[in-house]
Amino acid sequence: MKNIAVIGAGTMGNGIAHVFAQNGFKINLLDISETALNKGLQTIANNLDRMVAKEKISKEDKETTLNNITTFTNIKTGVNNTDLVVEAATENLDLKLNIFKALDEACSGTTILATNTSSISITQIAAVTSNPERVIGMHFMNPVPIMKLVEIIRGYNTSNEVTQTIMELSKKLGKIPVEVNDYPGFVANRILMPMLNESIETLYNGVAGVTEIDTVMKLGMAHPMGPLQLADFIGLDVCLSILNVMYNGFKNPKYAPCPLLVNMVNAGKLGVKSGEGFYDYSESKKAEKVASQFIR
């Protein structure tokens, strides 16, 4: 397995492309927007520069990694002759279903189709393809170049062979894969999102302020980042989307998004990506600092 396509040049997509390319894979990075592709490549280059500055890699390693990435805006061309496609588009069910329908038509019958979804049913996504046994979840953590975990999610029809292939591939990337079953939120977000949501409820109910809540969790629970800051880093729109998937999937009120979270997303206050969430990131350097602290 040498040729990999990654769909989506945003935060997760460019991180996934970065990791594959740095480990010697040839990457086709796809997005409908040339602007998004250029921004994604620049993010990869910036992160590689940080690694060079910290003497984690050489300048030659950086150039080799960037040379392993080719960009495309056409899905048929971009996934041609690939062994694996990793979809990392926005966490939207209809969008993902449309992408997988297109992949089913454009890819060979042997290409493995993976999704980086953090909550949506792998079985539901696989159902729109002609070979659901080759569809699997490959949920990387953000920031992808740093975080070791990859949740490997088996859909109802995912084959043992495909699962084992992706488990072994993840290890070749220097990651630690953990196999989980296909239920809303899987493991990571089923546990994480209710905690973030409860933190927002705590703020909403006036128990304590933003800094106080985060300080309690950092100092009292040894979390490297407070839950409200983490929600900002993930993206409040992403948190809301995942909570809605879990709420609709389980029909359990404990997963219902806090009204404050809903209002903030409706107001466009999405966290780091928008410049404001629970914290103010209006200065571009401030936002960059939040993101770069994880590139060690």
Q: What pLDDT does residue 114 have?
A: 98
Supply the residues annotated as catalytic. 118, 139, 151, 189
CA–CA dist 97, 230 (Å, integer): 28
Tell me if 9 is assigned to a ligand binding site: yes
Q: Please tell us whether the domain made up of 190-289 is placed in CATH 2.60.120.650.
A: no
CA–CA dist 271, 115 (Å, integer): 24
Confidence of residue 282 (pLDDT cuts 50, 70, 90): confident
Percentage of the chain modeled with pLDDT above 70: 95
Per residue in 157-174, pLDDT (tens digit) is 999 999 999 999 999 999
Tell me if 182 is assigned to a ligand binding site: no
State the average pLDDT over residues 176-198.
97
At residue 56, φ and ψ (nearest 5 deg) are -80, -35
Per residue in 54-63, pLDDT (tens digit) is 999 999 999 9
Tell me if 8 is assigned to a ligand binding site: yes
Contacts 24+ apart (CB under 8 A), 90-95: 90/8, 90/10, 91/117, 91/118, 91/119, 91/120, 91/238, 91/241, 91/242, 91/245, 92/241, 93/120, 93/124, 93/245
Q: Where are the domains of the chain?
A: 3-181, 190-289
State the average pLDDT over residues 104-132.
96
Beta partners for residue 85, in sequence order? 5, 113
Q: What pLDDT does residue 287 have?
A: 46
Per residue in 76-89, pLDDT (tens digit) is 999 999 999 999 99
Beta partners for residue 70, in sequence order? 28
**CATH superfamily to which 3-181 belongs:** NAD(P)-binding Rossmann-like Domain (3.40.50.720)
CA neighbor of 28 nearest in space, from 72, 88, 63: 72
Angle formed at CA 150 by CA 148 and CA 151, multiple of 5 degrees: 145
Tell me if 118 is assigned to a ligand binding site: yes
Q: Which pTM does this prediction carry?
A: 0.89
